[in-house]
Amino acid sequence: MSRRAAADRMRALGTVPSALPAAIAPQLATVVERPPVSGDWSYEVKLDGYRMLARIDGGATRIYTRNGHDWTRKLSQLATALARLPVTRAWLDGELVALSAEGLPDFNTLQTGLAPRPTSLTYFVFDLLHLHGYDLRPVQLRVRRSLLHMVLEHHTHNLFRYSEAFAEVRKARHSALSRTGAWPVGVPEPNGC
């Protein structure tokens, strides 16, 4: 998405121009006993990884933990790959995951893979918090994810990928089981399993 197209879209959403923050807090999920039965909800697969935020500013990318620690040096290849995205300024939010040979999240490999150098890690990006001088946090998640998808759709890389969300619990369960072997966030396992 070009910078001009993004700016036009931001204005149409009613966002106000804003400087790129030096730091930003991730929006955290709320743990509940069971998924909502009504309303306009989306469901995501729970990935067993580290929450990471990426700040892109004029081609320079910094990667931070959810607590604000700078991990750019540890994840320099990821930072370089994200710097190639077609954005001048942005904050991305996602989960850094180590995948097993079967493609399943492997937290133990993630912990050992960061020292002394990263193993095959993947950054699953699920939110776009700031783009081209506009703070998107007040905008609905569905709209932010749509913008994120547009940013990432033609720029695939083995180090990062768009993290899907699902409109139905059934689809989230199927995807979680087939892709990760885990249940989706906020979706209880059915009785007898």
DSSP string, 161-181: EEPPEESSHHHHHHHHHHHTS
Q: How far apart are CA 34 and CA 12, in angstroms?
A: 35
* Residues 176, 105 contacting (CB under 8 angstroms): no
Q: How far apart are CA 103 and CA 86, in angstroms?
A: 28
Q: Which residues pair with 125 in a beta bridge?
A: 94, 162
Q: Which of 46, 55, 145, 173 is catalytic?
A: 46
Active site residue 171: no
Q: How far is CA 40 from the centre of its chain?
A: 20
Residue type, 70: D
Pairing of strands 160-162, 121-131: parallel
| Catalytic residue set | 46
